[in-house]
Each structure stands twice: as C-alpha cells, then as structure tokens.
Amino acid sequence: MLIPTIDLMDGKAVQLRQGMEKVLEREDVIELAKYYGRFGEVAVIDIDAAVGNGNNEKLIEKLCKVAPCRVGGGIRDANKAQKLLSWGAKKIIIGTAANEELLSKLPKEKVLIAIDSKDGYIATHGWTKTTSAEPLDFVKRFNNLCSGFLYTVIENEGMMQGADIDSIKLIRAATTKELIAAGGICSVDEIVKLQKMGVHTQLGMCIYTGVVKLEEAFVKCMDFEKRFGYIPTIVQDYATKQVLSLAYSTSQSLLQALKTGKGIYFNRSENKIFTKGETSGNTQELIEARFNCDRDAILFMVNQKGNACHLGRYSCFGNKDFSINELYKFLITRKSLLPDNALTTRLFQDEFYLKSKIMNEAFETVNFENKDGLGKEAADLTYFMLTFMAMHNITPQDVLNHLESTMRE
C-alpha cells in the first residue's frame, strides 16, 4: 500500500526536515486529500496536537469525509480516539501515549502504534525528546493490542537519502502485523523493494517535491509479469459497494486511469486501451484504487454513471441491490425536489410532525404482536429515522462510524 502523508500545521499541509525545519507548505489541503485518496488511505498527522500547540480537528473532520484517512498526532485518550473514528477515520495512530489501559478501550483492528525512532531510541513530545526504550520494545509490548506499526526513522525524515532498510527488516521480522515504513524514502525502486518485503510505505517529501510520482509508483508495485502483462481489475461501486465488473489493466491503462481519475481498462479481445463510457456515456469516475497483498490484482472503486454492463444492467453480475444507502439517496433527492402532495415533503417541511411519527413508530415497534409485525414497524421506524437524518445531513455511514468506534473484541 502507498500511503501519502498530510502533515498539518495551522490548517496547512507541511513537510518538515527531521521533524523540525519546515521546508514546504500547501494550503489546498482538501483537494490534496481527494487526490491522494485515489491511491488508498491517506495518513493525516496533526503536528500541532502532537507538540501541544492547539489542533486541526475541524479540518481533520472534513478530510475524513473526502478521503480514507488514518489519523495521528496528539491522541492521548480514548475519547479523542473514538471521536476520530466516529468521523470516519479508517485507523488511528497512537505514539508514546499508548498503554494497555488505553488500548483496551479501542477496537484493536483500528489502532496503529507509532514507533518514532531517533538514534535507535523511542522519541516523544513531537520528536523533541527521547526515552530509553528501543523500537523492538514497543513491538513486543503492543503486538497483541493493535493492527500494526508505523515505523519512522526521524533522522532520515525529509532528507530523501534513503530508508533505513536494515532496521526495517528487524521490525518486519519481529511482527506479522501490518508494518508501514516512513522516513527518507526517495525512489520508486525503494518503494517496490519495501513492498516486496511486505512493508507499506508512508510517503511525504518525495511526493511533495515530485521526485516520486504516485501513479508511477503504484504501477511499478504491480506484478504484471505473473499475469502475462494483464492484471485482473475488480470494479466496485463506491457508494453501494456492489461489484460492477471484472476488467483487465495493463501498465499503460492503469497509469492513464490513475492520472485522469477515469475508468480506463484494456480490452483483450480488441487488443486496445479504452475508457469506460466513451461511446455509451456510462462513464466511471475513479475514486480509489488498491492492490492486493500479492500485487497481482487491483480494486477500482468508482462512481458509476448509468449502467456498468454492456447488456444494460447495473452490474455484470446482476441488478442493483436495495439497501439503506439507496433509500437514503432517494430521501436526499426528495429533500431537494419536495414534490407536491408527498408524505416525505410534509415530513421535511414539518419537523415536529416528523418527530411525532418517529415516537409513534418507536412505540409500535416495541409493542409488536408477532415477528412480521416487528419487521413492518421496524421498517416504518427506519424510514422516518432516515428522513430525520437526511433533514440534518447525517448519513448512514456516520451512524456506522459511531457504532464501529466503540466496538471491541
């Protein structure tokens, strides 16, 4: 996995040399996150919070809405960690504040432990102080309490003189959990080498300066030789999560897709690259691309316009499934149109009436007479609750994020 980094200071994306000297600064943080999100998860690090100089929480909440973010910096208690997860953070990164009591309150599959190494010892307080603990001590202590480790060699950070491969190998040998390396990475070849070691790469200075192009790095990480030049590409609807089709990518078609943000594939029967929807108008916007652990398959998550199948169906595997998300989209449309004489229009225009319907349906739900009755009353209650959520711009995913943030084994 390629993980672009957005380090935040005073609402701006910055790059620091060895965690101290600011050498780059960008203000287009939201657009940057959208672009970086095309390549998978984005690491958002709140440097201000890490050093105790305020925080960038309002901006981070927005970033979690536009890109899949793993968030770190200044997370010192369970309340803040759960708040970030409720905003939609895919994972949270906890450094020296990590302890058994804190981690016991969090879903471990959502937790990454930051191992910040300076001269071979764990650094704290925004990398301004060091301890007597060594990186392997953190691995041994927290290996069963997290989903993985982010290993940063501070003296290499921002220097672009190469990663510390030897120390990364030691960490890799000590755990089977996800391992992400950061600090000094300066070339596509180095990224590929780390990927082959089973190590993800968190990228900062090298992509901000243009030394490494994310599109080219993604393509180089793929094992095209194993598949005789063609990589199977699973295409999934970003909104519904349904699989739309199985396509194929070559290095050139993949590079074009990543650069343009379009569904571009290789047609094996016609032996040419094509853009989905170029004749039918049923285009695809590429939101996110990921490669699998063996680097021989790709997942494209797309916004599909119209039908994906050439037979006129929503998916090559069948019709669209009805879901809570589809119902919510219908309600959002009703909210914008407010058609005459529709119950939903009255609900949106009269919040007191909507609240009374929710309370009435809740009473009928808990006083159901039989299983079928419970299902019907629960359906009515769900409809009115979704309408209430749409009124206040709360999505089903927001609800799931809150539920997931408090789940533990």
Catalytic annotation present for 340: no
Q: State how far the Cα of 19 lies from the Cα of 114, in Å rounded to an integer.
A: 14
DSSP for 217-277, written as a single string: HHHHHS-TGGGTT-EEEEEEETTT--EEEEEEE-HHHHHHHHHHTB-EEEETTTTEEEETT
Would you report the helix, strand and coil content of the chain in percent, each value rounded to 5? 40, 25, 35
Beta strands at 2-9 and 12-17: parallel, antiparallel or unpaired: antiparallel
Q: State how far the Cα of 59 lies from the Cα of 235, in Å rounded to an integer.
A: 31
Instruction: Choose, from 7, 46, 48, 237, the residue flagged as catalytic.
Output: 7
Sign of CA pseudo-dihedral 408, 60, 43, 394: positive
**Residue 12: its H or E element:** strand 12-17
Burial of 158 (0-12, 13-18, 19+ CB in 10 A): buried
Q: Tell which residue, 270, 267, 250, 247, has the closest CA to residue 258.
A: 250
Instruction: Establish how many alpha carbons lie within 13 A of residue 328's alpha carbon, considering only the half-sphere containing its beta carbon.
Output: 20
Instruction: Choose, from 28, 46, 48, 116, the residue flagged as catalytic.
Output: 116
Q: State how far the Cα of 101 lies from the Cα of 358, in Å rounded to an integer.
A: 39
Catalytic annotation present for 166: no
For the annotated catalytic residues, the residue numbers are 7, 116
